[in-house]
Amino acid sequence: MKIMVAIKRVIDYAVKIRVKPDKTGVETTNVKMSMNPFCEIALEEALRIRELGLASEVIAVSMGPQQCVDTLRTGLAMGADRGIHVDTRDTLFPLSVAKLLRALIDVEKPQLLILGKQAIDDDCNQTGQMLAGLLNWPQGTFASKVVLDKQKQIITVDREVDGGLETLCLDLPAIITTDLRLNQPSTATTMAKLDSGNGNDVDGDNKC
């Protein structure tokens, strides 16, 4: 089984945000960037599923300018098997990202797509739901626990709702968005980031 994980490059959560002088957006020049924390959780969950022998490959996907390759390298250092960079300088809104992911899914044929429930820069919390609608796949949002049954081709998701926890049983292929309490991501060490001999690679040919 193949798992695809969408990861986003955002301003690091510990950085103090500064608005541009012309008020057109947030200052990103010479600002530390990192992987969106919810995306780290999504990737960690995919890697744990693979470690259990329930998946054969984990593919990380990032969209945006060339600098997103650095975020993909972090994903590879965490343990992803392969990275795909969709190279674009256009502003990507949730529906745009969902449509690009749908196109990649048509090519890669994953049975499970895991995303962070939201990005800390725009807080939209829309991409996973939009993609599920485009694909007509079942979805489990705000996941705090995920259990995969490969033989039965189903996945059980505990999701956090206002009243507590709700448990869903989804047929594969499916889409999951992750909440904070799903897991604690591993730290990708500097040595792992510098190790280019682990067989992992970033595919830069997927450009839009």
166-196 tens-digit pLDDT:
999 999 999 999 999 999 887 654 434 434 3
Instruction: Answer whether residue 200 shows pLDDT above 60.
Output: no
Half-sphere CA count of 127, side-chain side, radius 13 A: 30
72-87 tens-digit pLDDT:
999 999 999 999 999 9
Which fold would CATH assign to domain 2-10+32-185? Answer: Rossmann fold (3.40.50)
Domain ranges for the chain: 2-10+32-185
C-alpha to C-alpha distances, 119 to 12, 45, 122, 205, nearest whole angstrom: 11, 17, 6, 25
By C-alpha distance, which of 44, 35, 74, 62 is closest to 181?
A: 44
Distance CA 170, CA 184 (A): 24
Check: CB of residue 167 under 8 Å from CB of residue 157. Answer: yes
Check: CB of residue 18 under 8 Å from CB of residue 27. Answer: yes
